[in-house]
Chains A and B, each alone.
Chain A
């Protein structure tokens, strides 16, 4: 099971309007795992954008957070302050908006806006990584001392020392490699242009850029011993200047071809393992060993393992085991305490002083249950104190607030009535009362504690079969990453190159010229692509895409989706993708949540939702889009989504569903579980429900897909047979 990046629990959000309270999101829960894409699908007004805005902390001023949690990295995003949120927003959780115009600064050049994010992020990351590294080293040191390892300080210093060296080597290598591959691409393009006689300004800039890139491409591991050849080629290109005709370009072409030869070999070289090499350089010998890269990697790897890593890991594992045992002890104690204090909160009429005392003790006990050696933060335990404080405050503060609200309402109504009594029509309406539900608040206090107890029990059970070696490895990797990041300094030159590459990636022609332009010089589609590029430069943990490609055409859309998918794979990014284009969802999503009228009506993996849809609303959505083989009339969804000031009592979709059951109008269906990962909220899944067929459009489409798949399978088999036969004959 991959690590949970984000947990949304029982989220409820409404908006205060003059007509009443609009319930935009009603009790939704979902998890986002590391490295997956979760697509949220639904019509406009279904609450999908509100959900994403709640995660970003940018809800409108009239929003009311009715309850629920959004847990991320040891924080509850529903309850942290604006200052804390600024650490998260944009940096950790980035968002691509639907409307690109409002997201760009009109008086800054595009290039500056792109690199600014990268440079700032890099600076922040260095600082953060340094702090993380220090904290982890200190925690490890403390735990090691407790298990009787006294020379921990020495080991950690060593680790840090070559960790920094590794970062330096890595930076140098990457910069040279990036430049080499860029120079190669430019040289190839230029030769192509010369061949096709396109001797224009673009060719000239390409050649100039090639000279720049090629002269930065030299590194021990990239161009290696052919540096002089590359230098010669670059000098020849430089000497030729800007020839006017084809004959003038002949020497340039020859030089470029030579450079291509060198660079092709350069980028094909194996990547050195800079981490182990750094160890070798710092602790064994102070010069790079002269041997093939693969051999060198193996040698330095062995040296590192034998000389340091094995021993270090053994020691660290001891500390990890000890730390885990200690935390488990604390957890058991905490469970006992929480259970004993629970009745105080569960009383019919809890006493304020008694509760406050109990809560204080509980908080102290829970805080002890945090393992200092955890890499993934235990969000629920981290947020226990804010959660319980919030719940207690809501209940005890609720009396006063309700009283105030009632008074205001009475006063306001009296005023309103007075005006009407005078025979006038007032131009304002009485804002309805929004009262705290005291009963629910009281139950919520106890529930917070119960949830924590259950969480601890779950952790204790999980720890019984914990793999400490794997955990130690996780810590070593974490340290490696943090040391690397704490020393990695992004220069503005590299940032520029990376930004240009990214601009190319999102399909902007001639990025070097565009780099210096202002936002108003770009068309709408181009601006959208820039905004996407900016969001990606921040290298976030979680990327929220709110209909990013709706305004773009298919080719660019495909290009951008590919880019997001590649980044996701590369950086293990978690993506929340909001859209109503089911084709895009099929392409991007690992899992899908279908939202309607503020609720998740169906939730499952992409294949489950597309091939075995269970909710009538999902059917309706699927049936309303044509695919390439659709011939029959499309089935549109009649009517409009319900008014969310008065949300329907039963299934919200019943009004627009021709085949709705009677119970759909009376009772809200619960989430029925279909498989381990597939859930749907519809009464059709109840054992007593009548059997309803999916719309014909979908069944036919699924059959077509099935038939095509089988045909392909047969073809593949036939092809395999052919090749096998051919091999036999050989």
Chain B
């Protein structure tokens, strides 16, 4: 991954997404960066509440990012502005003499005020740029190039719309008026996902769970997207149907050249399906590597505990399984140094301090 020359299809840079304010501030996504190359499947795993879904949603601006950027084919589609706005407010307070350090009011010298004003102007320009980029992305249709498949096939389909209306909604919103074209396109999509034309006039409740998920997939591919964000697409499905949906996604990936961000917590499926995997823990990306590499040499203690928890269809190894526990308080010494995302071997990144970095490297070499 180190000697890549071409631009990745998706680049996420220092993405942060905070919810709440003050005491209740929750850092759902905290400084996450990764690239996705064209045609690859990038798996995002972690326990519930670790921010993997939020990452996926922030990437298509379902949430307004706090800070950080997301680039799609080199063009910025998401730019977090909230941190700029906050900084402006802070600086203004300082200038107005409202800011306090403990009990003392901060007083700025003349030159400092000037500097602050300059910074405010800079920040305003950045916000303007971000807004411009957002508008641009919308105009150029870059947003429609990224589509999402949702976890719950029951809740994500409007019960009052027929399958045809659901699938064609994206086209209609984009201003396609030609009814024949829409019909053709819908039938084509239905066939692609393994349904038949007769299904188009039915309502979602007439379908089984697996078929509904197929409708969801058909809706997401009708815009001919380049990237699909699949947010736990198989968690709500029955065993026998899971394999069908995974096989379908695999086929689409080959025939349409899709790039997929696959968010899931079923690790054996992620391993089977993804080329590279990122492990998230409490809003941070703690480890990232190709899937074979990650499973062969997990380095971060959280990844290890996660891998040790995978249930496998093999009773003997299951009965003797020892689960590794992860306790961030005892496993890390972060009081002296804040951890950073470092590359242990090419393509294998771990969030660690410099001391841990040496340790992991030694472990890897062994």
Contact = CB atoms under 8 A, between A and B. Distances in A.
The residue among A44, A562, A586 with the most chain B CB atoms within 10 A of its own CB is A586
B118 interface: no
A507 B350 CA distance: 26
A625 B314 contact: no
A624 B239 contact: yes
Given A628-B268, A633-B247, A633-B250, A557 B317 contact: no
B265 A43 contact: no
A580 B238 CA distance: 7
Contacts of B329: 192-193, 196, 198
A100 interface: no
Given A523-B49, A553-B265, A610 B313 contact: yes
Contact of A636 (B243, B268, B311, B321): B243
The residue among B266, B272, B313, B316 with the most chain A CB atoms within 10 A of its own CB is B313
A559 B321 CA distance: 12
B6 interface: no
Interface in B38-52: 46-49
Interface in A383-409: none
Given A196-B335, A555-B309, A583 B268 contact: yes
B311 A581 contact: yes
B295 interface: yes
B301 to A, nearest CB: 12
Contact of B315 (A554, A586, A622, A631): A586
A381 B326 CA distance: 53
A307 to B, nearest CB: 44
Contacts of B250: 633
Nearest to B320: A712
Contacts of B318: 583, 586-587
Instruction: State which size class the interface on A falls in.
Output: 35 or more
Interface residues of B, number: 45
A558 B309 contact: yes
Nearest to B321: A587
B94 to A, nearest CB: 28
Contacts of B314: 586, 610, 627, 705
B315 A628 contact: no
Interface in B236-257: 238-244, 246-247, 250
A566 B344 CA distance: 38
Contact of B306 (A555, A620, A622): A555
B330 interface: yes
Contact of B312 (A43, A559, A589, A627): A627
B267 A43 contact: no
Interface string A534-566: 000000000000000001111111110110000
Contact of A606 (B48, B242, B305, B315): B315
A562 B323 contact: yes
B108 interface: no
Interface string A559-583: 1011000000000000000001111
Contacts of A198: 329
A437 interface: no
Interface string B283-323: 00000000000010000000001101111111111110101
A381 B304 CA distance: 54
B27 interface: no
A624 B243 contact: yes
A587 B319 contact: yes
Contact of B295 (A196, A583, A624, A628): A628
Nearest to A556: B47
Given A43-B240, A705-B317, A555 B305 contact: yes
A637 B317 contact: no
A39 to B, nearest CB: 10
Nearest to A639: B240
A205 B316 CA distance: 43
B57 interface: no
B310 A583 contact: yes
The residue among B240, B267, B309 with the most chain A CB atoms within 10 A of its own CB is B240
Nearest to A708: B317
B269 interface: yes
Interface in A178-219: 192-193, 196-198
Contacts of B48: 523, 525, 552-553, 556
A306 interface: no
Contact of A624 (B240, B306, B333): B240
Nearest to B264: A553
Interface in A572-609: 580-587, 589, 606-607
Interface in B66-87: none
Contact of B311 (A523, A557, A709): A557
B68 to A, nearest CB: 25
B242 A554 contact: no
B342 interface: no
A640 interface: yes
Given A558-B311, A580-B239, A640-B208, A634 B335 contact: no
B269 A626 contact: yes
B271 interface: yes
Contacts of A624: 239-240, 242-243
A636 B315 contact: no
B243 A625 contact: yes
Contacts of A621: 239-240
A727 B208 CA distance: 65
A630 B272 contact: yes
B311 A634 contact: no
Contacts of B335: 196-197
Nearest to A704: B314
B243 A587 contact: no
A708 B317 CA distance: 10
A231 interface: no
Nearest to B308: A558
A697 B70 CA distance: 40
Contacts of A634: 243, 246-247, 272
Contacts of A44: 238
Nearest to B323: A558
Interface string B124-156: 000000000000000000000000000000000
Contacts of B333: 196
Contacts of A589: 315
Contacts of B309: 554-555, 557-559
A630 B246 CA distance: 13
A443 B28 CA distance: 67
A558 B208 CA distance: 30
B240 A620 contact: yes
A607 B265 contact: no
The residue among A525, A636, A709 with the most chain B CB atoms within 10 A of its own CB is A636
B267 A554 contact: yes
B313 A192 contact: no
B269 A554 contact: no
A10 interface: no
A161 interface: no
The residue among A523, A525, A626 with the most chain B CB atoms within 10 A of its own CB is A626
A620 B335 CA distance: 52
A635 B242 CA distance: 10
The residue among B208, B269, B316 with the most chain A CB atoms within 10 A of its own CB is B316
The residue among B48, B235, B265 with the most chain A CB atoms within 10 A of its own CB is B48
A208 to B, nearest CB: 19
Contact of B268 (A580, A620, A625, A640): A625
B268 A586 contact: no
B240 A554 contact: no
Interface in A451-496: none
B265 A554 contact: yes
Given A554-B306, A583-B268, 6 more contacts: A585-B313, A586-B311, A587-B319, A630-B272, A637-B240, A705-B316
20 contacts: A192-B329, A523-B48, A523-B49, A553-B265, A554-B267, A554-B309, A555-B309, A555-B326, A562-B323, A581-B239, A583-B311, A583-B313, A625-B239, A625-B268, A628-B267, A628-B268, A628-B295, A631-B272, A637-B243, A708-B317
What 3 pairs between A and B have smallest CB-CB spacing? A583-B311, A558-B309, A636-B243
